[in-house]
Amino acid sequence: MELGIGIGWRPEIADEVEALTGVDWVEAVAENLCADHLPDSLVRLRERGVRVVPHGVALGLGGADRPDPARLASLAARAELLGAPLVTEHIAFVRAGGPLTASPRLEAGHLLPVPRTWDALDVLCENVRIAQDSLPVPLALENIAALITWPGEELTEGQFLAELVERTGVRLLIDVANLHTNHVNLGQDPAKALDELPVEAIAYVHVAGGVERNGVWHDTHAHPVTAPVLQVLAELRSRVDPPGVLLERDDAFPPATELAAELDAIRATLRRAAPPADSRPTTPRDAARDGDDAGVGVGVGVGVGVGVGVGVGVGVGVGVSESDGDDAGNGVGDGRRAPAAPVPAGTRDRTAVAQTALLSALVAGTPAPEGFDHRRLRVQSRALAAKRADVVAKVAPELPEILGDGYRAAFLAYAGGRPMSGGYRRDALDFAEHVLIAGGPADPVARRRLTYWWQDRSGARPPRRTTRLVRAARAALVGK
């Protein structure tokens, strides 16, 4: 299906997006939409014939657990409400712990990488099929940006994505900014990744800005798109004509004129990089350009082929795919492959222990698993805490208003000892409760305002001593 040139729709720039010319489609964060009604801006865009694609960030399909049915149902409801041609998610894990490890549930609040191993691929493919079967439209999956890599990886990013496509029929959302991020941070060659992945499986492309600090590239979506990112887009365009290209911007929103200029730069890059018509390589997608592939099914899930001694570290375990070759050539009409044998429980268990050990090190201060770059883990840990503070300030803007300049330091101190176990709104309430229990804020007017804010959203009174002791014991179980 052809999408054209699009931009990420965000409430903060809804008016600007509506006013832009030449926008064929938009993408909206699925979790920011209500399941039963749409923002007026999206309604108007749809009435003008602008397609809207929901983009999920919370499924955690790369996790050890099977996809959560409630989250899948929520994403499906938004796809139907929007009349979307497809939905998208990420090849990442966002939470760990829980029943598989008999430990407290931990939330990353961020997209974390999965190891590119054969064990991981087995779990991934099973989760793909679960997701595909639960959604009313195709699902495309995005490569993510990373600050860290897993030890003992067995596949390159391109090989991993190619194997995923071969086994499941899934299509891809390729983020060229993330390829650039991984080039700077991890030394991975974007051109090599593009050479190895099946470009004919691309559903669309993301382009976004970032910034380099102390030799680390941060994929902020809050800065202008840079020339190196556009060069990766050009590399991709020289290999394939992507069905759609979308500009992402999530913060520090510029004026509409700057957004329009970035879209123009994307269009110009695509034009310049297009190969001559007579030299353009033929791909399976070219043959299906008239719509034969509109029903291609897509899905994701990721597991980890890494075994970890609990509380100790990570040791590599090599697994053999249960479905290797079994479903080759057995494509189902919508692009999916025939069912494969279930992933052995032990594979998911190893995945769960490995991911919990890593996430606990990042958000709860437990020892770093063996084989990881400790410096990079510290950078990632600080980035997670900073993002957590920023998002809580957005979902509960009263907190930085009440606490003033002391908000950020107070929140980072709180986050250092209290991993997030629910969503950001729950985190905001827990932080306010923590400040009140500790006797803050020092200013009586601010304390009264914070108390009223907490009471309005949480309950009539702060928790009693027994409740506080239970919560303290729960926090101790994750190492803090």
pTM here is: 0.82
Q: Identify the pLDDT of residue 338.
A: 55
Which long-range contacts does 406-412 make (Cβ < 8 Å, 24+ apart)? 406/441, 410/435, 410/440, 412/385, 412/386
Q: Identify the pLDDT of residue 458.
A: 83
pLDDT classification of 443: cutoffs 50, 70, 90: very high
Task: Note whether 29 and 52 are within 8 A (CB).
Answer: no
Residues in the chain: 480
Kindly report, residue by residue over 288-326, the tens digit of the pLDDT.
444 444 343 333 333 333 333 333 333 333 232 233 333
pLDDT classification of 332: cutoffs 50, 70, 90: very low
Of 65-69, 142-146, 233-237, 473-477, minimum mean pLDDT range: 473-477
Kindly report, residue by residue over 257-277, the tens digit of the pLDDT.
999 999 999 999 999 999 987
Mean pLDDT in the chain?
Answer: 86
Kindly report, residue by residue over 119-156, the tens digit of the pLDDT.
988 888 999 899 999 999 999 999 999 999 999 999 99
With CA atoms as reference, report the closest residue to 105 among 390, 474, 480.
Answer: 474
CA trace torsion 439, 477, 316, 374 (10° rounding): 30
Task: Note whether 95 and 348 are within 8 A (CB).
Answer: no
Mean pLDDT of 226-255: 97
Kindly report, residue by residue over 150-182, the tens digit of the pLDDT.
999 999 999 999 999 999 889 999 999 999 999
Q: Identify the pLDDT of residue 461.
A: 55
Kindly report, residue by residue over 344-364, the tens digit of the pLDDT.
999 999 999 999 999 999 999
Of 62-76, 208-222, 447-461, minimum mean pLDDT range: 447-461
Task: Print the SS3 string covering 439-461.
Answer: CCCCCHHHHHHHHHHHHHHCCCC
Q: Identify the pLDDT of residue 234.
A: 98
